């Protein structure tokens, strides 16, 4: 019998400046990212991962073919408090495009931009 899986198992966020990006995500979200490593010609720094927790983990990635963009896929970060995270995002050279709004029974979201120009989103149930 096949194991049930969520639709997303991994994500990569393109960056131009690894140090700046790491500082943004560590300060805005409180994550401790791994020290960057070189892997297959790319520089990567990994978000924390707990294989017993729900959701996907991923990395920041710098290299050919990875360009920060405001277009394309949108990664939603689960947070406890959207308003507090929005404040941290702005303090860390990010932007809030669409402040916290309701998506009904599925909670609340906010659309933002990281310090590299990537569009990101926040999600919480309250």
Hey, what's the torsion of the CAs at 6, 97, 86, 119, to 10 degrees?
A: 40
pLDDT for residue 3: 67
φ, ψ for residue 11, nearest 5 deg: -140, 155
Best CA proximity match to 55, nearest among 10, 89, 97: 10
> Domain ranges in the chain?
10-124
pLDDT for residue 1: 60
Best CA proximity match to 43, nearest among 25, 24, 64: 64
On whether the CB atoms of residues 30 and 80 are closer than 8 A, the answer is no
Query: Span 94-119, mean pLDDT?
Result: 98
Fold of 10-124: 2,3-Dihydroxybiphenyl 1,2-Dioxygenase; domain 1 (3.10.180)
Q: pTM to 2 decimals?
A: 0.92
């Amino acid at each position: 019998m096949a194991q049930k899986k969520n639709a997303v198992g991994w994500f990569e966020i393109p960056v131009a400046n690894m140090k700046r990006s790491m500082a943004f995500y560590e300060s805005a979200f409180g994550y401790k990212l791994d020290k960057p490593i070189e892997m297959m010609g790319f520089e990567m720094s990994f978000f924390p991962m707990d294989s017993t927790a729900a959701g996907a983990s991923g990395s920041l990635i710098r290299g050919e073919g990875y360009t920060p963009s405001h277009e394309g896929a949108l990664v939603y970060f689960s947070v406890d408090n959207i308003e507090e995270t929005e404040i941290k995002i702005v303090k860390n050279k990010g932007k809030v495009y669409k402040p916290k709004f309701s998506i009904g029974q599925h909670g609340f979201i906010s659309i933002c931009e990281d310090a590299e120009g990537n569009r990101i989103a926040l999600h919480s149930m309250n």
